[in-house]
Amino acid sequence: MHQQHVRNIFVAIMLLVAGGSMTADPVLAQGGAAPPAEKVRVRFTWKLYGVYAPLYVALDKGYFAQEGLSVELAEGSGSENVVKLIATGTDKIGFGTGIVAAEAISAGLPVKVIANYMASNPLGLISFPEVPLKMPKDLEGKTVGLATGETFANMIEPFARINGVDVSKVKRIQFDGATRNAQFVARKIDVISVYLNNDLPLLASKLNVKFNVLNAADFGLKLMGTSYFVNNGYAKDHPETLRKLLRATARGYADAIRNPTEATAMLNARMTVKMDPAVLETQVRETLAATTVPDRKPLGWQDDALWKFNLALLVAGGDIREVKELKAYYTNEYLQ
């Protein structure tokens, strides 16, 4: 399975770079001075963890530099905050959960998703071993802890409808994130939502527990995950910059999938708040396993079906009221 995933990534990258040059700069070939690298900042939506490893591979292996880009990878303070920074032009390029960008676009913010690397975010529900959790119906009669602003808090009702869960039988309590987790650890709530590629490895390692895990995507909640989203004005004025960025990123993904241990080491070297390297590698491997490789399309490719499904979920969850034309939300222009 891993070898097939690598081959699929390789094909997707070859499709992406076919239209772009990966040869030496012609000015250098003639003995001239190198043009100055174009400075680009990519704003993550959160602090460093495994999902960002492919970008550090692209940075450390010089793939951005080979495209003539001097890329700064910067931490963020939450998806909603970062999308607003991109919309105002304070930052120009964001990297994080695509579903949040979809909400912002529906609200009229001038951003667009230009590549998606996870068509289905690895979002899940967990409980301690003594609390049964195999099917969505198992939520009935239980207390579910929700963190303010989290994705699942907004999606629990459509998730319940999809799976025939009587939501009136689910006790929902909302906390800030830290309090919610503390209440769960103290066994005062039964179930919490987590990102299976990020939160679950941390909790499982810290508590040395094998949790019951329900993958929400297996039960219809396939929400768009890791994506690049950009300021509309910047995209219009810098199309080649974005093409270069996406080509280099695709190469970073390919190398990370071929060698997750190496990718983990590159990310670990940048971590200001260190974690157990084994846990970090688990985050990286789970992220790469969840990466979507489109069939005979470049890595990052999006389609109407992906967007229609996600927008319908947002409407069902009450997160958006108006659905705009699909071209307002996404483009594959910079992958061609």
Find the CATH number of the domain harbouring 317. Answer: 3.40.190.10
Q: Considering 197, 219, 241, which residue would you say is the last residue of a domain?
A: 219
How far is the CA of 128 from the CAs of 76, 131, 143, 218, 283, in angstroms?
31, 6, 13, 20, 20
**DSSP H/E element including 229:** strand 226-231
Q: In terms of Cα–Cα distance, which of 213, 274, 208 is closest to 49?
A: 274
For residues 9 and 22, membership in a common domain is answered with yes
For residues 99 and 248, membership in a common domain is answered with yes
DSSP state of 78: -
Q: Full-prediction pTM beyond 0.75?
A: yes
Structure-block tokens of residue 249: 């990123």
Tell me what pLDDT residue 32 has.
60
Strands 38-44 and 191-195: unpaired
SS3 state of residue 290: coil
DSSP state of 330: B
Sequence-separated (6 or more) residues with CB below 8 Å from residue 126? 133, 191, 192, 193, 194, 200, 203, 211, 212, 213, 214
For residues 181 and 200, membership in a common domain is answered with yes
SS3 state of residue 276: coil
Q: Determine how many CB atoms are found less than 10 A away from the CB of residue 109.
A: 18
Tell me what pLDDT residue 29 has.
46
Tell me what pLDDT residue 5 has.
62
Tell me what pLDDT residue 236 has.
97
* Ranges of residues in the chain whose predicted pLDDT is under 50: 23-29
For residues 129 and 115, membership in a common domain is answered with no
Q: Considering 219, 239, 255, which residue would you say is the last residue of a domain?
A: 219
- Full domain range(s) for residue 135: 123-219
For residues 211 and 236, membership in a common domain is answered with no
Sequence-separated (6 or more) residues with CB below 8 Å from residue 148? 174, 175, 176, 177
Tell me what pLDDT residue 83 has.
95
Tell me what pLDDT residue 123 has.
95
How far, in Å, CA of 317 to CA of 250, rounded? 33
Q: Considering 219, 254, 288, which residue would you say is the last residue of a domain?
A: 219
For residues 316 and 241, membership in a common domain is answered with yes
